[in-house]
Amino acid sequence: MIINNMLGLKIKNDSMVMYLLKNSAFTEVQLDTYLIENMTVGKQISLNAKIAMRDKKKISKSSFLRTLKQAQKNLQKSVYSLILAEYLGLLEEGSIIKLIQIGNLLKNINGQISDKNKLKIYKIIESVVEIMSRKRNIK
């Protein structure tokens, strides 16, 4: 059975998704569309059926496909940006591995994190991103 409202279901009870989405290169519509495409890969599902899974109002096929391409492009650019930053030595050694570990940890403990601990995790993620980007408070 295909789940309707992909992003709505992911966000509904998961403030971690909202936090990460807010700080990502994706819009809600792009992520919703990408989740639908990802969940239906290899399944014989029509484009009309995928459009019906969208969280928002019904859209045209060309709009759905355009949004999907935008999401794919944002993800590709993000990956290329990380590779470029690593290649040029702009990231601390092993940073990308640490990011993967953080993502896997969050995926494995999904739904088991108290709101208090989520706030701590948000601060840790922010610190890691700031360290990786060498962002410093300039006074």
Q: Which residue matches tokens 């919703």?
A: 32
Tens digit of each residue's pLDDT (9 = 90 or more) over 78-134: 999 988 988 888 887 888 888 888 888 888 887 787 878 888 888 888 888 887 777
The number of beta carbons lying within 10 Å of the beta carbon of residue 122 is 15
Q: Which two tokens stand for residue 9?
A: 């279901």
pTM: 0.76
Taking alpha carbons only, the member of 125, 113, 127, 129 closest to residue 14 is 113
List, for residues 2-49, the tens digit of each pLDDT value: 444 555 666 656 788 888 899 999 988 898 889 889 888 889 999 999
